[in-house]
Amino acid sequence: MPSSLMARVKAGNSSASADKCPSHVDVSPVTQRSSKDCTSRTHAGCEAEPEPKSIIRQLLSHNPGPSSFEAPPPFYMCCESEAIDRQNCFELSPFECSAVQNPTNRDSATPQNFSRDPVDATSDPNEIPLECTPTPKKSSLAAAAFSSPATHRIKPTPTSSYYSKQPAVKSAYVPPFKRNALNVKEVTSPATPAKPVNCRNSDANTSHETPKLTLSTAKNAGRTRPSFHPQLVIKKYRRSAAGGGVHEEASVRSLEQLNATVNYLMQLFARQRPPNCENGMNNAMISNNFAGEDTWGKDDTASDYYQQEPSTQGVNPRPQASLCDTVNFIDDRLRAVQKDLVSLVGNLEESFSETTHDANNTLGNVQTKELLRRMQAKMVRYNILTLYLLSGVPSSKYQVKFGSRALRTCLSSYLNLSWGLHDDYSNLHLRKEMNNNLDKENAFSIELRTQDEMMAYVALFHMSAVLRAEENALPLPSTSSAEASTSLMEESGSGWGALFSTFTKYSIAQDGHSLSSVNKYPRWKWALELASLVQCGNYQRYFTLLEEGPSYQSADSTSSATLETSSEAASYNARFLLLARCCASHSINLIRLSALRQCNHAFGKGEKVPVRNLSRLLRFHPSNASDDEVDSASKHVLEFCRDAGLPVIDNDDRDRNVCFVLMKSAPIEISGDESIGRMCTPGRSNDSFVFGTEFVEQKDESVSSLTNLLHRVNMSEEVDDWEEHYCDDSSLSPNSDQAVMVRIDDDQVMIPSSNVLSKLVE
């Protein structure tokens, strides 16, 4: 490794420990202090220290309210011809269909702001109405949005699922340019006989009664084809070889359409349900902020976040889908976005290579690359978060290897797009034009900060892959394993040296100043220090540094120093630390296993070590956690020690609640598929360390948890500065950092609030 680079890193570490810069943002978890401790400190004459902000509160320090969630214009994310073809081939998702209302209000569910009605599903006399459609075998909240309680009386069949795959047959749709806006022909499926066009304009005396629903009718008719919503339908990743339909769009979507699609999918991930566009209103705040919405940080100015319209009071909101169903839908649509980006960037590369000295053309290319990098960065954050949140679900619901592959694609695309970042902003022909359109220094600082963030994620994931490959107590990961710690820099090598070669390739080779480049990337330097601490065996310092976060000391750029002290920068730094912990969580059990080996080697044979001490040494909870959180983390310590082969005993003298771990002289070996699986994929057992507190489902008042704090909050009172109060009028300010609502879906996945998820992926 380069000696000058390592010397610069060591010099930066020594200066950080000697003197802490005032611009350093502390993102350590909040310390819970009781009222008795505060009273004793006041009587002792000590100065009251300011209550540190938790990492969740720092994340929401900039614009804590829920962000807007608006559906794009009709057929903006998918062309109309493809939407019709997918409707005929039964390839629509519940996230793309029109919500089913009461039979009396069905006519009013059609959007009003279109020149003509979208193509509806054909209604055959032998078909079952949509409100009587049998539900699929694996019911979910998303599928329940399009079925009534009466559907559960019918025995479900494999052909009655919205997700069932039908044989690919040629659709009989009419192209848009051949249609008459005043006389739209109905589209029918080959399996359904065509109706006369004027069937809707028949005599008023003609009866259109719904046929009686019987088992024979359900068996013969199957189901009614769900109709798409023109604002919610999104282009799907389709392969003709896999039977995904026969229609292929002639042209790819534009860059603006792809950007709007990515933004819409990120907000859909945060809320797990689409916006309500049934009345032709393109306003997401109406549909996603109903009573009971899981948001954090609401204040008394609710009118800013809620816009109630008389026409939407009677519309029932869609139920929230499970996180697995939402992520599977978004992953498929993001894959289609990446496919269009490959074709689009290939066309844009010709214009990039033919740049002239015209400042307008050069500025347009820089802004196009900046938008492409921003889209890839959002998808990187989304994949990192989903890999952690869904790390404990079975493989039948979510495939980790597909998520790892998507993450690797996003990171590789971003690094390739960031090539030449310094040259784009150091072009002399840009200076005059950039000053008239945007602040060049601020724009370059934001770009450099995002590049630093992405390279830190790459380093953390690569470190996890190296630790997994060097662990002798565990078998090598197979291709079908559910591990996310895959190498992301195979072209640079599979060892620790790949960290320096990648940084040299994308940073030093472009800047030309190796010593000054290190200070411009504090997050990458922080990830590099974590890797060096693991190599040296200093695991306690590793856990402390992972809990505190990087130190942002930018003395080279005044604009960067100003940026790091703002509330927006504090939110950005908290988001980075949360996502960095998600990256490190895939290998944190391997580091704990190495730390446990040190303890086993240091202690004598047969010596009993209390579980609470091991919980502190192995950092199963934050360093300043409360007694309740320590007791809650003890069960994870006991399970971890049993998987490592260390016996666990109780205290036989007096206190039966105290457990001990018995050390042994033999080396630690892990046996059993379940133990190996828990070591490689820890799941959500690290919530206490990642989010600064643990998500529990208990209702006990003695347990200090997010759910219990919300249970004690009187939400009806008007409060200032979005701080809640207890029912006894006592302030909740010391504990308001943890008042985050947690939703548990059908798959028992604990999902943070919508504005927390939105802040993490935006």
pLDDT one-digit tens code per residue, 426-437: 764 555 555 555
Residues 660 and 696 in one domain: no
**% of the chain beyond a pLDDT of 90:** 17
Tens digits of residue pLDDT in 280-324: 444 333 333 333 334 333 333 322 322 333 333 344 468 899 999
- Predicted confidence at residue 727, as pLDDT, reads 44
**pLDDT at residue number 476:** 72
327 Cβ neighbours under 8 A, 6+ residues apart: 269, 386, 390, 398
Q: Which of these ranges, 49-63, 142-156, 313-327, 649-663, has the smallest mean pLDDT?
A: 142-156
Label residue 29 left, alpha or beta by phi (over 0 means left) and psi (-120 to 50 means alpha).
beta
**Whether pLDDT at 598 is above 70:** yes
Q: Give residue-wise pLDDT tens across range 151-178.
A: 333 344 443 333 334 444 444 545 444 4
What is the pLDDT at residue 212? 52
For the cut 50, the answer to whether the pLDDT of residue 562 exceeds it is no
Residues 182 and 224 in one domain: yes
163: in domain: yes
In the chain, % of residues over pLDDT 70: 51
Domain final residue pick, 393, 420, 438: 438
Residue 272: inside a domain, yes or no?
yes
Average pLDDT of the segment spanning 458-470: 87
Residue 168 shares a structural domain with residue 289: yes
The winner for highest mean pLDDT among 34-43, 353-362, 373-382, 560-569 is: 373-382
What is the predicted pLDDT for the residue at 457?
Answer: 93
Q: Is the pLDDT of residue 53 over 50?
A: yes
Q: Which helix (H) or strand (E) holds 750?
A: strand 750-751
Say if residue 172 is in the same domain as residue 286. yes
What φ, ψ does residue 440 adopt, rounded to 5°? -65, -45
3-state secondary structure 405-458: HHHHHHHHHHHHHCCCHHHHHCCHHHHHHHHHHCCHHHHHHHHHHHHHHHHHHH
Contact 554, 444 (CB under 8 A): no
Domain coverage including residue 655: 588-680
Confidence of residue 335 (pLDDT cuts 50, 70, 90): very high
Q: Helix H segments across 585-724?
A: 588-602, 611-617, 627-643, 673-680, 687-690, 706-711
Are 675 and 689 part of one and the same domain?
Answer: no
> pLDDT grade, residue 203 (50/70/90)?
very low
Average the pLDDT over 325-346 and give the result.
Answer: 91
Among 632, 647, 680, identify where a domain stops.
680
Interior/surface letters 602-627, b for 16+ CB within 10 angstroms, e for the rest: eeeeeeebebbebbbbbbbbbeebbe
How high is the pLDDT of residue 514? 57
Q: Can you tell me the mean pLDDT for 111-136?
A: 37
Mean pLDDT of the chain: 67
* 312 or 483, higher pLDDT: 483
Summarize the confidence of residues 16-45 as an average pLDDT. 38
Same domain, 275 and 247: yes
pLDDT at residue 617 is higher than 70: yes
Q: Region 73-77: what's the mean pLDDT?
A: 92
- pLDDT for 31 equals 36
pLDDT at 378 exceeding the cut of 90: yes
Please tell me the least confidently modeled range out of 136-145, 313-322, 516-525: 136-145
Any domain includes 36:
no
Higher pLDDT, 88 or 269: 269
Q: What is the predicted pLDDT for the residue at 348?
A: 61
Q: Is 600 contained in some domain?
A: yes
- In this structure, which amino acid lies at residue 449? R
Q: Are 33 and 553 in contact (CB under 8 A)?
A: no
In a domain, 102, yes or no: yes
User: Are 265 and 117 in the same domain?
Assistant: yes
pLDDT tens-digit series, residues 706-735: 434 434 443 333 333 333 344 444 444 444
Structural domain contains residue 701 = yes
- Average pLDDT (15-36) is 38
Residue 508, pLDDT score: 63
**Mean pLDDT across 190-201:** 44
User: Residue 581 has which token pair?
Assistant: 């912990």
Q: How far apart are CA 388 and CA 686, in angstroms?
A: 10
Residues 354 and 424 in one domain: yes
Residues 115 and 237 in one domain: yes
What is the average per-residue pLDDT within 240-265?
74
Statement to judge: residues 219 and 106 lie in one domain: yes
CB 343 within 8 A of CB 312: no
**pTM passes above 0.85:** no
- Kind plus residue range of the DSSP H or E element containing 650: strand 648-650
Residue 95 phi/psi, 5-degree rounding, is -70, -15
C-alpha–C-alpha distance, residues 78 and 83, integer Å: 7
The most confident of 53-62, 250-259, 521-530, by mean pLDDT: 521-530
Average pLDDT over residues 560-569: 58
Structural domain contains residue 94: yes
pLDDT surpasses 50 at 38 = no
Confidence of residue 88 (pLDDT cuts 50, 70, 90): confident
The pLDDT of residue 379: 96
Q: Which of 61-75, 427-441, 446-460 has the highest mean pLDDT?
A: 446-460
530 near 460, Cβ under 8 Å? Answer: yes
Neighbour-count burial for 396-420, b at 16+ CB within 10 Å, e otherwise: ebbebeebbebbbbbbebbbebbee
Helices (H), 94-230: 141-144, 215-221
Contact 255, 342 (CB under 8 A): no
Give the integer Cα–Cα distance in Å for 638 and 614: 9
For residue 28, being part of any structural domain is answered with no
155 in the same domain as 219: yes
The model's confidence at residue 477, banded by pLDDT at 50, 70 and 90, is: low
When divided into structural domains, the chain yields a total of 4
Interatomic CA distance for residues 707 and 741, integer angstroms: 6
Instruction: Name the burial class of residue 149, with classes exposed (0-12), middle (13-18) and buried (19+) by CB atoms within 10 angstroms of its CB.
Output: exposed
Residue 526 vs residues 199, 226, 576: alpha-carbon distances, Å: 69, 51, 12
User: Are the C-beta atoms of 574 and 544 separated by less than 8 Å?
Assistant: no
Predicted confidence (pLDDT) at residue 268 exceeds the cutoff of 50: yes
pLDDT of residue 605: 80
* Residue 486 predicted with pLDDT over 80: no
- Which of residues 277, 293, 309 is at a domain's end? 293
Q: Element (H or E) spanning 265, and its range? A: helix 255-271
Most confident of the ranges 100-104, 642-646, 719-723 = 642-646
pLDDT of residue 39: 37
pLDDT value, residue 274: 92
pLDDT class of 390 with cuts at 50, 70, 90: very high
Tell me the average pLDDT across 253-257: 91
595 in the same domain as 735: no
Q: Are 379 and 410 in contact (CB under 8 A)?
A: yes
282-286, 484-488, 490-494, 556-560: the lowest-pLDDT one: 282-286
